[in-house]
Structure 1
Amino acid sequence: MRVTDPAHPDHRTPTTPEAIRPEAVRSDASDPQRAWAFRPASPLPGVPGGLLSGLTFSVKDLFGVPGWPLRASTRAPVPDPGESVLVRRLLDLGASATGKTHLHEIALGITGANGFGGTAHPTRPECVPGGSSSGAAVSVALGQVDFALGTDTGGSIRVPAAWCGVRGFKPTKGHADWSEAGVLPLSGTCDHTGPLAADLHTIIRVHEALTGQSVPPQDWAGRRVGLWLPDGWVTPDVHAAVQGVAGTLEGLGATVTPVDFPEVLDAYSPIVLSEAAAVHRDALNLPEPGFLPFTLAALRQGAALSADEVQAAFARRAAYREGLDALLDTFDVLLAPAVPTPPPLTGQDEVDLPDGPVPLRRAVLRLTAPFSLLGAPTAALPTAHHAGGQPFVGAQLVGRHGQDDTLLALAHALDTAPHIRTPEHT
């Protein structure tokens, strides 16, 4: 079976009565972006005197929190994952949880559309904030919390971080201190948990508290950087932004060399859709599951995949992992775009790129999915190239598996460095 994006549906804001019910689109005056799925009368307080005391955080509505509802931003019934180990750890470390944020329905999408009206961009209401951790990014961008918990299966932390002008971090898959236990999965073999924040200092502080180890400063002198900037995959302004980052790294003493890496969606899509269909099997057996039409179509497509088709996708994944490992044996870090364009308009189906129009989902995921499919630690940060004073495109830094601390320290060194312009790479 050929895996396709069902009419590329997750780029659209559904307008039929079945897609969005009237009560779903009412906007709280205190939350015009519809970022919040649940806000209790008072936050869950952290343990006094902890390493994270004084910090507040929002929780993506996939994490189980006792006493708080879990809906995954859908009208469909969802499984109960139990209590989130990560949320409990953060509370024990002193941080206070202020509420749950909306996401792209069940995390299966990159715009922020869901069964409750969808989430809007924090400062450009006509645009999407990115997803699936849409509310998480908005809560950080608006200064409502110090950091946000998100999940990333194909770009779901990095994309909204880039489009909302904040920072995001996806740890190495299976990182012991960024537990996925008690989190409703989308794709168990691709899911990651991670933070978003306005600055990398806060992300590093949270990471250090969870791991119990400091993140030593790093510098870029002598570092080998592979620049993955595929021809025709990004708009000219994104291309210029990433080239600007490459120039800054060269000014800091790194060597930047263009590299190639293939599109991995032929492995990613079958794996994610089949695993998501298994998670939501019970709802799919209902006469009216309650999912938005595009989510339902994608889940049914995943359920229809044969075991042989899924096994072939895993074989392709293994080959891609070998290719990424070889790159990261040669280079210390990879630099890549985090998004192909500035934030798209709500309802926009496709984007115009130098190679022509491309469905939005494919345009985004082919840049971000490799590093969640293959489990490499990745940081997303805004670039200096922006319009109207807001940096709404971003870059990814990809590190070697297990070297999360080094990656975070290098990302921080870049994020706090003066931006240096050099001639564009050829």
Structure 2
Amino acid sequence: MTPPDPSTLPATFSDPQRAWAYRPAQPLRTHPDGPLAGLTFSVKDLYGVPGWPLTGSTRAPVPDPGESVLVRGLLELGAAAVGKTHLHEVALGITGANGYGGTAHPHDPARVPGGSSSGAAVSAALGQVDFALGTDTGGSIRVPAAWCGVAGYKPTKDHPAWSTEGVLPLSWTCDHAGPLARDLGTIVRVHEALGGGAVTAQDWQGVRVGLWLPEGWTDATVRDAVLAYADDLRARGAAVTPVALPEMLDAYSPIVLSEAARVHAEALKQTDPGFLPFTLMSLRSGAELTKAQVQAAHTRRAEYRRLLDDLLAEYDVLLAPAVPTPPPLIGQDEVTLLEGPQMLRRAVLRLTAPFSLLGVPTLALPTLARYVGIQLVGRRGADERLLGLGLGLHPLNRAAPGRSRLRLPGPARPTLRS
């Protein structure tokens, strides 16, 4: 694959992970003060920023989404944009592969960082920025957060603080905008500044937790890390009960692929528009779906939404794995789970896609297991409650003004079960 165009990066800037799509000579600042003054952020290369290129990390032509409302708002609040980060090509994937060489893990160049917000996670994990803007359509914030050891937040769908206007879409049904950072306190600070509502640390005493850990869907490392988290929540006073949810890819995949094909319809008119082979195959398969097939997927989505709403009426929060294994090797298409071999894409998406498909707020947080994360899933619209529960796990991680350097640890004193 062709390496990144060196003209988009300063000559003195080292980027061995190929995380950055564009870095101007100076960060973009529009206001010298404000509640986010002193913080820097990276911008996933799906967000429209006037004067900055937008490629979607593909060699194919992409539509112009206009100016990002979210980026403009962050700049007006005093934050400074450092540049744009690479992603899995047009956000249609979970590893970080793209038309510019692909992005590597921040600490192990042989492994993937996760996607599609791959460069965003790397920029946060390496401390190159205080927080990173990503997007999440099926796990694209949570997967790289888990595999890179940072925190990620996918808000409720269409949350007014986290606008997707001016962001190149993948699927308008499932797209979310959100942040990644090394500490949850920075995420909370940004959320509050954007008008998302005040967040206070929540005690876990009496919290009803549904443990979603489908048998065989992870390897032993992830299973034990999730069970350790559950034990820690019990020690904090939570009531943890196993729950069940079905795989929802039969609704997710037709909706996302059909909508992605409409987004890239002009490029698909060309015989070879410049997409990677897997991306082109996926987009063309989406274009071939019939209206009846897509409508049937939306009908199943409505059924799944009622199922999840009923579950979250019984439980305050769900605890689930964010990834099925630690980060796989670059080029690895299959993983070995407790149930046996499974294709990597399905193994990942069946854990994360339900919560973007159904639009509920979700936090991805690291665990004591290296590069393994969990998900905390809240009720639709209860973002501040969910973030507060996260702060309740890590009360010292509320960010102080200025540049944050705190890392987010996993829960303390885990007891692993076999």
Take 2:330 and 2:85, find their aligned partners in 1: how far apart are those partners? Answer: 19
Confirm or deny that 1:303 pairs with 2:287.
yes
Does the 8 A contact of 2:249 with 2:353 survive in 1? yes
CA contact (8 A) 2:4 2:18 kept: no
> Given the alignment of the two structures, is residue 147 of structure 1 paired with residue 140 of structure 2, yes or no?
no
Aligned partner of 1:184 among 163, 168, 172: 168
After superposition, what is the alpha-carbon deviation per residue over 1:62-117, rounded to whole angstroms, capped at 9, x for unaligned?
00000000000000000000000000000000000000000000000000000000
Given candidates 143, 146, 161, the residue that maps to 1:162 is: 146
Distance in 1, Cα, partners of 2:276 & 2:223: 34
Q: 1:109 to 1:24 in 2, by over 3 A?
A: farther
Q: CA deviation at 1:175?
A: 0.3
- 2:2 is aligned, of 10, 21, 30, to 21
Match of 1:421 among 408, 414, 417: 414
Shift of 1:275: 0.2
Structure 2: distance between partners of 1:100 and 1:62: 9
1:364 aligns with 2:348: yes
3-state DSSP of counterpart to 1:358:
strand
CA 1:168 to 1:323, structure 2 compared with 1: closer, same or farther past 3 Å? same
* CA distance in structure 2 between the partners assigned to 1:407 and 1:341 by the alignment: 25
Identity level (%): 69
The one of 85, 88, 93 aligned to 1:101: 85
Matches within 5 A, 1:340-419: 340-384=324-368, 386=369, 391-416=370-395, 419=412
Q: Quick one: which amino acid aligns to residue 2 of structure 2?
A: R
Instruction: Give yes or no for the alignment of 1:264 onto 2:248.
Output: yes
- Tell me the distance in 2 between the aligned counterparts of 1:212 and 1:295: 35
Structure 1 SS opposite 2:194: helix
Residue number among 47, 51, 58 corresponding to 2:35 in the alignment: 51
Q: Is the Cα contact below 8 Å between 1:132 and 1:160 reproduced in 2? A: yes
Structure 1 distance, partners of 2:192, 2:113, is 28
Q: CA RMSD in A?
A: 1.6
The 5 Å alignment of 1:3-402 reads: 20-21=1-2, 30-211=14-195, 213-384=197-368, 386=369, 391-402=370-381
CA distance in structure 1 between the partners assigned to 2:110 and 2:357 by the alignment: 31
Which residue identity lines up with residue 31 of structure 2 in the other structure? V
**Which runs of 5 or more structure 1 residues have no equivalent in the other structure?**
1-19
For normalisation by structure 1, the TM-score amounts to: 0.92
Shift of residue 422 of structure 1?
4.2
Distance 1:23-1:319 versus aligned 2 partners, 3 A rule: closer
CA contact (8 A) 1:275 1:302 kept: yes
Q: Deviations over 1:285-307 (max 9, x none)?
A: 01221100000000000000000
Contact 2:96-2:104 within 8 A present in 1 as well: yes
- Give the secondary-structure state (helix, strand or coil) at the position aligned to 1:196: strand
- Once the two structures are superposed, what CA deviation does each residue of 1:206-253 show, in whole Å capped at 9, x if it has no partner? 000001632122110000000000000000010000001001100111
In structure 2, C-alpha distance between the alignment counterparts of 1:69 and 1:194, rounded to whole Å: 21
Query: Conserved in 1, the CA contact under 8 Å of 2:89 and 2:96?
Result: yes
How far, CA to CA, are the matches of 2:294 and 2:53 in structure 1?
A: 33
Query: Partner residue of 1:15?
Result: none
| Aligned partners of 1:38 and 1:69 also within 8 Å | yes
Letter in 1 for 2:61: P
User: What is the number of residues matched between the two proteins?
Assistant: 401
Question: TM-score, normalized by length of structure 2?
Answer: 0.93
Aligned 8 A contact 1:371 1:377 in 2:
yes
Q: Distance in 1 between matches of 2:261 and 2:231?
A: 44
Match of 1:21, as an amino acid? Answer: T
Superposed CA offset, 1:1-34 (max 9, x none): xxxxxxxxxxxxxxxxxxx236679998600000
Report if aligned partners of 2:224, 2:416 keep a CA contact under 8 Å in 1: no
